[in-house]
Amino acid sequence: MIQQSENFPEVSLLITHYNRSKSLENLLTQLDILGCKFNSIIVSDDCSSLEHFSYVKSLQSKFVFELIPAETNGGLGRNINKGQAAVKTKYTLYIQEDFIPLPGFQIKLKNAVDLLSLNPEYDVVRFYAYRLYPYLEPYKYGFSKMKFKWWYPSLDKFAFYSDHPHLRRKTFVEKFGPYKEGLSGDQTEFAMMISFLRKKGNGFFFDKYKELLDQVNTSNEPSTMKRNIWRESDNFFVIGIRVVYRFFKYNLSYLFGVDKHG
């Protein structure tokens, strides 16, 4: 099947990478198959092992990208920050290396650029999520405007920002601050989520959020995100405690700016 190619001269692709060089290759290959042409591609590496880093460097003979290394492992926040600092274009498409874009992604990315161009008060366009954002106002191209009020029911309303693949403005860091460093990936995401909400960020959400990208974890390159047992437990009592904890944590963080670091 011939894909419809799209050129994105105002978009830089930022990929964060850590010890998943084959996954990175799959991502770059699929974007090439879809005909996505960016102003630049930046791969920000978080001090991968020599085996993976060497393979990433070898990929530069096949794909054109700027590789930004690290002397020590600094975590997700530092990896995003140093990669974002290299972006020169108006927009950034942020994707972690374990995602694969599906057919039609390039069309919706073009739509997303149009959405931000036509709506200067909006900061991000989200393409993927684990679940549907609960408060949406249908807009156009299959995207909806995300709505947030702190008194809305459901803790899912706080998931206004996510590290999952999204398009954002270059001014994102100026408005919401750099990503917190020295924290776990979940804590880094939480801190940015609270900053995004408190500083009145606005975003679009793709309604069919599972149709544009797949998140791929293989036995050879499993997820590098480590979560504690209590966060993942399905025990009824643990779930109850977790809900109460999150209720106070999320609301206090948003309303009073406390516990920003997650």
pLDDT in tens for each of the 262 residues of the chain? 456 789 999 999 999 999 999 999 999 999 999 999 999 999 999 999 999 999 999 999 999 999 999 999 999 999 999 999 999 999 999 999 999 999 999 999 999 999 999 999 999 999 999 999 999 999 999 999 999 999 999 899 999 999 999 999 999 999 999 999 999 999 999 999 999 999 999 999 999 999 999 999 876 766 665 545 555 566 655 556 767 788 889 999 999 986 544 4
In a domain, 66, yes or no: yes
Pairing type for strands 124-126 and 203-206 reads parallel
Pairing type for strands 6-17 and 91-96 reads parallel
In a domain, 13, yes or no: yes
Separation between Cα atoms, residue 166 and residue 123, nearest integer Å = 10
In a domain, 4, yes or no: no
In a domain, 252, yes or no: yes
Which range marks the domain in which residue 78 is found? 9-256
Number of domains in the chain: 1
Q: Residue 22's domain is classified under what CATH number?
A: 3.90.550.10
In a domain, 244, yes or no: yes
The pair phi, psi for residue 244, each rounded to 5°, is -65, -45
Residues paired with 37 in a beta bridge: 7
In a domain, 225, yes or no: yes
In a domain, 2, yes or no: no
135: left (phi over 0), alpha (psi -120 to 50) or beta: beta
In a domain, 107, yes or no: yes
CB 188 within 8 A of CB 76: yes
Whole-model pTM over 0.85 = yes
Separation between Cα atoms, residue 49 and residue 54, nearest integer Å = 8
